[in-house]
Structure 1
Amino acid sequence: MRVKRYVVDSMPDALQKIRTDLGKDAVILNTKEIRSGGFLGLFGKKKIEVIAATDAGQAQPAPPAMSPAAFKTPPAAGAQLAKLIEEASAAAAKKSAAVPSAPTALMEEPVIPPVARPSPVREVREGREIREVRERGKEDLLLDEIKSMKEMMSRLTASAAERPRYPERLLKFERLLLEHEVSPDLVEKLLGKAAEEFEGEFSPKTDEYAYELIKQQLKQILYTPYNKGIASDTRIAHFVGPTGVGKTTTIAKLAAEQVLKEKRKVGFITSDTYRIAAVEQLKTYANILNVPLEVVFSPQELARAFQSLQDCDIIFMDTAGRNFRNQMYVSELNALLQSKGKSETFLVLSLSSKYKDMKAITDNFAKFRLDKVLFTKMDETNSYGSIVNLLYDFPLQLSYITNGQNVPDDIVETNEDRLIDLLLEDRE
């Protein structure tokens, strides 16, 4: 019996060494986990100790077969050869009866009594134990990695909790923008850029400077370099948007401005034949302003309407309010947006609507042509963050904001500075 001890990192390494040193008939006698290295028994690396053994007689290869001619001896040496064979047989029998001496490997390792060759059932059990040891090793490594990751996350969380993300003088503006329902991602971007400048070497680090930094960031989103109102050379002004946002009332306000202030000749076209009394409402405004009105039921009737209003300086076209989150309705409306000269298309949205709905409507209209955006019902909400969100997400130009139902009052061109003051005003 030959016994040998191995200290390895994993069971596959042990199996390879055992097969190389002791042969494929070797048997594993014992396995256990130990720690190697470290300091005073601490911080040692996990190892696996494996004890294996093999039958020394089976491990040695059989001598090569000899031909009968090799046993032929001269007649004179026959008696002497027979005597030598008899003496060798007696010595072999005496040696087999004696206790075998320990192998070289046993001089270095503890002597373990010989064991009988395991049965097939025991070999299956030992194979299962090897697999279990291997799986336990993998689980231990995985648990160690998870533990270290948790500790790292705890340290990072504690560090983030101790240190505010932005300078203290900017934190108030983060709260105000979120109260106005400005997108959290956009707030983070605005505050991040402002914080970089606020913490600069030459920054005065005052409340006034923090306010100006945030204001400049918002102005870059809201600023309109071109004319916000209806251009002087615009021939047709289209107004589109969902139902209930106040398109017809807004058209009446703008038409009165053109008639009374700009002294331009105005005409109305309406295709809003879906809503009850929609035509009557616009006809009432047309009678008050003494301007002509044409009603169209299809794109084919637009040519007739334009011919009737050819003497007008500007034509206001009122479209039907529909569920414009449905792209089919948007496609139908696009067929009505024909032009006889320079035109502008105004998207009309209510500030009392959720920004998610605004975004869906604008996304469908943006596939065609939009020039400016007009916000209504400012007097019905205290949240103006949707204006910032929309101008950041879409390449639109600010135009008007309405803040009541009075005609021709309660409509103004958007003032970016005033709007930013409202966004950053501490209402508490």
Structure 2
Amino acid sequence: QDALETVRRELGPDAVILHTRELPEPRFLKWRRTKDRIEITAGVGLNVRTPRAVSPTSGRKPPTPAASRRDDEQLAPPPPLAGLRPVAGQPQPAPAVERLPPILERSFPARPITFTGTPGSSPPVPGADPQAHISRQLNSIEQMISQLTRSSWQPQADVPTELFQLYTELIDVDIEEELARELMQRIKTELDSGRLDATTSTKARLASLIEPEMQCAPPIAVTPGRRRVVALVGPTGVGKTTTIAKLAANFRLRDGVRMGLVTVDTYRIAAVEQLRTYAEIIDLPMKVVTTPGEMRRALDEFAGLDLVLIDTAGRSPRDELKIQELKNLLAEAQVDEVHLVLSLAASVRSLQATAEKFAPAGTTSLILTKLDEAIGLGSLISISRRIPLPVSYLTTGQDVPDDIEHAQAKRMARLALAEDSLLARRRTAEPGAGKLSNL
């Protein structure tokens, strides 16, 4: 009865219902829990709204397979009704249905299906975690890329299997691919010439081959009665202040050197206070300066000391003006050594660019920090090749004064190949130095 009233309201009082059938809710919409739909075919007078059959000569293109499937699933023509007689004076309805009557189109307009819900509602698929799925896919892609990187250099027929295995190990310790290929060729030459015997491991031989390439500077030399001024420079966040504290603690507590500290890092109040705390613990004089004139006066007061360490503020490698100011400040201090502090956690390209930008400040050597935070230490080889500065010190952790050591070529070569542990050279703290390690 409700359907008849709706039809007559749309088509007029003379509308006649020709056919009805129930359409069950599609399975993908069952979640809406709605009642089944009813399809109505109706007409009125000579203007019965019947679908038109698509004839081959109509000039229209046949529907696409996808459209045909949709029509078959939702808009299939109703089967003929038994006993239905055509109304006199009315044309026969076409056997094929192209579109639903307007009343049904308005009742069920075509639109994208969207799922709505309140925050925290369950997703359409119970138990599914989209974020976890994306994370798994990203991990899978990362593993594929890693495998492709490793396999980009395939062993030749005459290359031993263990040599190719060594190549993959070099990639794992962050040695650049091109450099790893070169090292493999050098080892292959050693094997072919018979210089590498069965008693020598390939890694040990490789370490001996790259050891001469490791550029190392001597440690800071202190001569009693002759003051030496040493400055540490570098970008922000590389550990300059902590490194100054490690050097100061070792020189003061281990060697008893008469020394003082100067800081120009007035941009970070916390850094100044940290260094002041270190100085008070190990009984060192300390000066805070901001201008070249103050620097000159501070050095005059420290004229009778054997060593002065200068901690500078971090500078952006792109800020040429700040680096020029740093150069003028160090010139006033008449420094003997300028150590550029770089974090090994950064890429080799970034370290090379930073070294080039700080060159106007008169850098004489490198201090490489945060070795314990690097993915691998193979970059030590590339740094020695690309940056024309020797390495003076390595820092391997946060403990003061323990986690710092003088750079040595053999040690660096073994670290680069993961043949040595970062803790192998860790020095036991001197009496009285332990109270620094927890700061």
TM interval, shorter chain, is 0.5 to 0.7
Q: From the superposition, tell whether residues 161 and 372 of structure 1 become closer, same or farther in structure 2 (CA, over 3 Å).
A: closer
Letter aligned with residue 194 of structure 1: I
Partner SS for 1:312: coil
Correspondence list, 1:245-394, <5 A: 245-338=238-331, 343-394=336-387
Structure 1 partner of 2:206: 214
1:189 maps to 2:182 = yes
Deviations 1:137-181 (A, max 9, x none): xxxxxxxxxxxxxxxxxxxxxxx9682585434323322222222
Correspondence list, 1:143-222, <5 A: 163=156, 166-200=159-193, 202-204=194-196, 206=198, 208=200, 210-222=202-214
Q: From the superposition, tell whether residues 161 and 407 of structure 1 become closer, same or farther in structure 2 (CA, over 3 Å).
A: closer
CA distance in 1, matches of 2:257, 2:191: 50
Deviation at 1:384, TM superposition (A): 0.8
Structure 2 partner of 1:230: 220
Decide which structure has the larger Cα Rg and report it.
1
Deviation at 1:423, TM superposition (A): 3.3
Deviation at 1:389, TM superposition (A): 1.2
How high is the TM-score relative to the length of structure 1?
0.56
Correspondence list, 1:3-152, <5 A: none
**Contact kept? 1:235, 1:340, Cα under 8 Å:** no
Q: From the superposition, tell whether residues 408 and 161 of structure 1 become closer, same or farther in structure 2 (CA, over 3 Å).
A: closer
Deviations 1:43-91 (A, max 9, x none): xxxxxxxxxxxxxxxxxxxxxxxxxxxxxxxxxxxxxxxxxxxxxxxxx
Q: From the superposition, tell whether residues 339 and 413 of structure 1 become closer, same or farther in structure 2 (CA, over 3 Å).
A: farther
Q: How many pairs were matched up?
A: 265
Q: From the superposition, tell whether residues 187 and 325 of structure 1 become closer, same or farther in structure 2 (CA, over 3 Å).
A: farther
Q: From the superposition, tell whether residues 269 and 288 of structure 1 become closer, same or farther in structure 2 (CA, over 3 Å).
A: same
CA distance in 2, matches of 1:313, 1:167: 57
Partner SS for 2:269: coil
Structure 2 partner of 1:417: 410
CA distance in 2, matches of 1:394, 1:325: 18
Deviation at 1:304, TM superposition (A): 0.9
Detail structure 1 runs of 4+ shifted over 6 Å in the superposition: none
Deviation at 1:299, TM superposition (A): 2.1
Deviations 1:155-214 (A, max 9, x none): xxxxx96825854343233222222222222222322233222211x3455372533431
**Contact kept? 2:339, 2:367, Cα under 8 Å:** yes
Deviation at 1:342, TM superposition (A): 6.4
**Contact kept? 1:299, 1:335, Cα under 8 Å:** yes
Q: From the superposition, tell whether residues 177 and 162 of structure 1 become closer, same or farther in structure 2 (CA, over 3 Å).
A: closer
Q: From the superposition, tell whether residues 182 and 235 of structure 1 become closer, same or farther in structure 2 (CA, over 3 Å).
A: same
Q: What 5-or-longer segments of structure 1 have no aligned partner?
A: 1-159
CA distance in 1, matches of 2:176, 2:157: 20
CA distance in 1, matches of 2:335, 2:242: 23
Deviations 1:270-310 (A, max 9, x none): 11111232221211111112111111112232211111111
CA distance in 2, matches of 1:249, 1:325: 24
Deviation at 1:223, TM superposition (A): 5.0
**Contact kept? 1:166, 1:191, Cα under 8 Å:** no
**Contact kept? 1:378, 1:403, Cα under 8 Å:** yes
**C-alpha root-mean-square deviation of aligned residues, in Å?**
2.6
Structure 2 partner of 1:118: none
CA distance in 2, matches of 1:197, 1:400: 32
Deviation at 1:331, TM superposition (A): 2.1
Structure 1 partner of 2:97: none
How high is the TM-score relative to the length of structure 2?
0.55
CA distance in 2, matches of 1:162, 1:414: 35
Partner SS for 1:348: strand
Correspondence list, 1:394-405, <5 A: 394-405=387-398
Partner SS for 1:177: helix
Q: From the superposition, tell whether residues 164 and 326 of structure 1 become closer, same or farther in structure 2 (CA, over 3 Å).
A: farther
1:406 to 385, 396, 399: 399
**Contact kept? 2:173, 2:417, Cα under 8 Å:** no
Q: Which protein has the bigger helix share?
A: 1
Partner SS for 2:267: coil
Partner SS for 2:200: helix
**Contact kept? 2:259, 2:284, Cα under 8 Å:** yes
Q: From the superposition, tell whether residues 345 and 385 of structure 1 become closer, same or farther in structure 2 (CA, over 3 Å).
A: same
Partner SS for 1:208: coil
